[in-house]
Structure 1
């Protein structure tokens, strides 16, 4: 016997209540849980409270934990970092900002990842050279240990490989400039790049080269990669001796005119190599990274005059002709900064009035209420800065 069951008709839902325009506008507002917590946590952001429990648990802030420390040479330290979930990755050649708090003061500097962009675990490798005047680099060289949490920025910078990889590549570096081009080399190798690659690094002695063993292994396992280390001191032990020039090019990359060159190193080296390329009409094939600004020199015609008024701090200082960042620090102020070379924009502040000059281009800016970068601007006469 078969029993048929006729489904009961569903009851009709009543029409939703009607609201006025004000009620509708309220209902349309979408407040996230984060916004709610931050409103309750005022004046501090939620992450300021979360870091008291676990500094790697963040809502908005990007941070990283040091998971490995390797001091390969007498003045460098290599750090492996595990970023928080906000990390978006990088392109080979770009840089990040690392922030550390020392004695209650936050300090930020820029460093370039040295690893391939295709590293599977998503971690970042930084090799940092401790410079005599580098507060953050010296602090990390001396104090970095696994477990230390640092502040991290998203990657930035235009020094990077083009999407269409060149058939022939020359990677030139000197000193700490090795890291971005090493990232480029590792990335190309991971991608199975088959074109010619020459990696030419300049140092005082071969003992000063971080990642030397890793470089030799790459060259040994990839027939299209030529590795040459040039030592600039007598008895430095390099494959080549002396400085960049035609003799080195003939050995390292006789096809240089057909290649795209990526260069990072100290200013004297970079200036000499730029001149070499320009004299041979190869300037459009040379791509460079800057990691330091040349010292500020007062023009003979423009003597340093006037007063700098840091209005928000009620501090005034006679203009000494230095960058506005250095002027502020000399006046006892501590404005935030990162790269100190006009790349990261961390030190941007509003010029309320007066005239400034760019240390990069020489351009004069006399516009009021204009954001400027303190590290690459200096005062020309009386200036008011909102810091």
Structure 2
């Protein structure tokens, strides 16, 4: 069968077979995975929840993992990473994604505005190491903020489906109760499982009784909601401020090994002005761009190129290219590397002096 597909692939060059099949039906594919949107829910302000029906290539996901979703906007395909909110045991092979609209988010804005039943998107297999351990610990602490609720919500639903007997605390930070997606589902899960506790915090809302803000994360807050946290495994996903606060507490208690994190925003190290010189040479395109401290993906785009990318934060590896010569700095870790002919991720790499990139 594989040989037959390869033969047909050769005969249908210059485009691959799926490119012709999609002209007949967008979800008719041999190798590429796609998904049809079957339902769109915009009931939570600023967010949209999409139900997807994947093609036969879909193999499911582990709670906490993410998928790459691709859409075509003005003739250009863009991909982004989103975490399914479903338990990993969903039997009907559907996927639900809750996408928060960001002010400058091209894809999130497009999906919030234009997604409709019948739309077909590209889909990549689930991936990521932010997932529940196969052997479940006796106690679990799930912490999220904003759109970071999606992977930990999948974890909570999976534990509920399993009839998990241990103790679980789900702590979520949001701007307001109305901004919490699936709030009713969370309350229902807590009502059905006496060993599950769901709590919400709204730091921007002042408590009318005390006159204090709705609560920020610190050691005292952690001890209140989960006094057993030192004996638990913690999974955290949210904005940088929340992630930093959680890390600070766990590091102060020497509990780094029990903390598992996933970030949806790119945290960068401080820029050293001495590194900003020279030029980036994009060999295959014959384009050169003077270094300005931006990532190589941003420099390529500013120079008129359109390299493939997905998450723009070093997760999906869609923007990987070969650095032929020169030195680059990982903007997340600050580490530099100058080994020749090495693959790098353009979205988290910045040039240090002259570099040659094979795009």
The two structures have a TM-score, normalised by structure 2, of: 0.96
- Is the CA contact 1:356–1:380 (under 8 Å) kept in the aligned structure 2? yes
Find the aligned partners of 1:223 and 1:322 in 2 and give their Cα distance.
50
The two structures, once aligned, show a CA RMSD in angstroms of 1.5
Counterpart position of 1:374: 346
Post-superposition offset of 1:206? 1.0
Counterpart position of 1:158: 129
Counterpart position of 2:182: 211
Post-superposition offset of 1:31? 6.2
Find the aligned partners of 1:363 and 1:341 in 2 and give their Cα distance.
16
**Residue among 298, 311, 316 paired with 1:339:** 311
Structure 1 unmatched ranges of 5 or more: 1-29
Q: What are the superposed Cα offsets for residues 311-346 of structure 1, whole Å, 9 maximum, x if unpaired?
A: 111111110011101111111111010111111110
Find the aligned partners of 2:114 and 2:32 in 1 and give their Cα distance.
23
Post-superposition offset of 1:101? 0.5
Post-superposition offset of 1:56? 0.7
**Residue among 316, 320, 335 paired with 2:288:** 316
How many aligned positions are there?
355
Find the aligned partners of 1:123 and 1:234 in 2 and give their Cα distance.
36
Counterpart position of 1:299: 272
**Residue among 271, 283, 289 paired with 2:262:** 289
- Is the CA contact 1:204–1:236 (under 8 Å) kept in the aligned structure 2? no
Q: What are the superposed Cα offsets for residues 21-73 of structure 1, whole Å, 9 maximum, x if unpaired?
A: xxxxxxxxx86221111111001011000000111110000101111110132
- Rg comparison, structure with higher value: 1
Counterpart position of 1:280: 253
- Is the CA contact 1:205–1:236 (under 8 Å) kept in the aligned structure 2? no
Find the aligned partners of 1:234 and 1:70 in 2 and give their Cα distance.
26
The alignment partner of 1:247 has SS state of helix
Find the aligned partners of 2:252 and 2:46 in 1 and give their Cα distance.
36
Counterpart position of 1:95: 66
- Is the CA contact 1:77–1:129 (under 8 Å) kept in the aligned structure 2? yes
Find the aligned partners of 1:236 and 1:143 in 2 and give their Cα distance.
37
Find the aligned partners of 2:2 and 2:111 in 1 and give their Cα distance.
40
- Is the CA contact 1:93–1:181 (under 8 Å) kept in the aligned structure 2? yes
Find the aligned partners of 1:374 and 1:231 in 2 and give their Cα distance.
36
Structure 2 unmatched ranges of 5 or more: none
The two structures have a TM-score, normalised by structure 1, of: 0.89
Q: What are the superposed Cα offsets for residues 165-200 of structure 1, whole Å, 9 maximum, x if unpaired?
A: 111011000000000000000000000101111000
- Is the CA contact 1:296–1:322 (under 8 Å) kept in the aligned structure 2? no
